[in-house]
Structure 1
Amino acid sequence: MKVTWAYDRGDHRDNHEVDLSAPAALSAVLHEIHQAGEPVAVTIFSQAIDDPDELPPGLQIGLGHPTHSFAVHIAADGAYLNDPTVEAPTAGLSFDLGGVPTEYPAEYLRIRPDTAIQIATAFLATGGKPPRLPADTE
């Protein structure tokens, strides 16, 4: 699957793209991104499409914030995943989305970063089946 993320560097966008097929490799990349401490939206595309104006199906997660993340399934019936045991932050948080700082509402940020990485790894391992919370967070 194709994994993309980008940072706003003021005078340019710092774009990244890798193709990964092993869940362990994806987990390692996502942990590295998170440990950098720069809030960023990471998109994992489950399949390519021909229309450049349309967002391919996949999963998007927010990494880089110390305590809060998001996970959203990109599909016609997709939605944000929320862990009912995680309290939303007091305000929305900004993550770089394609190199554009983007504010995410607090109600979408009820996932811990480690949980977001688990969701993404499972998404890759299942070949892009609709994501769900890991069993230990439900």
Structure 2
Amino acid sequence: MKATWAYDRGDHRDNHETDVTDPAVLEALLHEIHQAGEPVAVTIFSDTTDDPDELPPGLQIGLGHPTHAFAVHIADDGGYLNDPTVQTPDEDISFDLGGIPTECGAENLRLRPATAIQIAATFLKNGGKQPHFPETT
């Protein structure tokens, strides 16, 4: 699979793409991205599409905000994953999506960053099968 993300730097886009095969390596990468403190959407996918404006099937997570994140399964039957115990933030949060600052609705920001990273690692480990909110024991 691949992981891609980009930042809007005003005069240019700072694009990143890397192959990911090891869930532990992906987790470390995502923690590093989150620690940078710049809200960004990371897309994890295995297949590209013929349309460059269309997102490929996969998982997208929003990291970089101190307390809130998102995870959305990009598929015909996909959608946002939410933790019912996480309070909705007071306002929408802007994440760089492909280098374009994009508002994410507060109702979709009901994950902690560590949970979004765990969902992404599990998504990779399971070969891209539909992600689920992690079970708590």
Same fold (TM over 0.5): yes
Tell me what 1:2 maps to: 2
Give the secondary structure class of the aligned counterpart of 1:31.
helix
Map 1:98-137 → 2, pairs under 5 A:
98-136=98-136
Tell me what 1:43 maps to: 43
Q: How big is the shift at 1:136?
A: 1.8
Paired-residue identity, %: 74
Structure 1 residues 78-118: Cα deviation after superposition (integer angstroms, max 9, x where no partner): 10001000001001000000000001110000000000000
Tell me what 1:76 maps to: 76
Distance 2:78 2:84 in 1: 18
Give the secondary structure class of the aligned counterpart of 1:18.
strand
Q: How big is the shift at 1:46?
A: 2.9
Q: How big is the shift at 1:51?
A: 3.8
- Aligned AA for 2:69? S
Distance 1:89 1:51 in 2: 34
Distance 2:55 2:118 in 1: 23
Give the secondary structure class of the aligned counterpart of 1:135.
coil
Map 1:76-95 → 2, pairs under 5 A:
76-95=76-95
Distance 1:116 1:27 in 2: 10
Distance 2:3 2:70 in 1: 16
What's the C-alpha RMSD, in Å, of the aligned pairs? 1.2
- Aligned AA for 1:35? Q
Using the size of structure 2 for normalisation, the TM-score is: 0.96
User: How many residues are paired up?
Assistant: 137
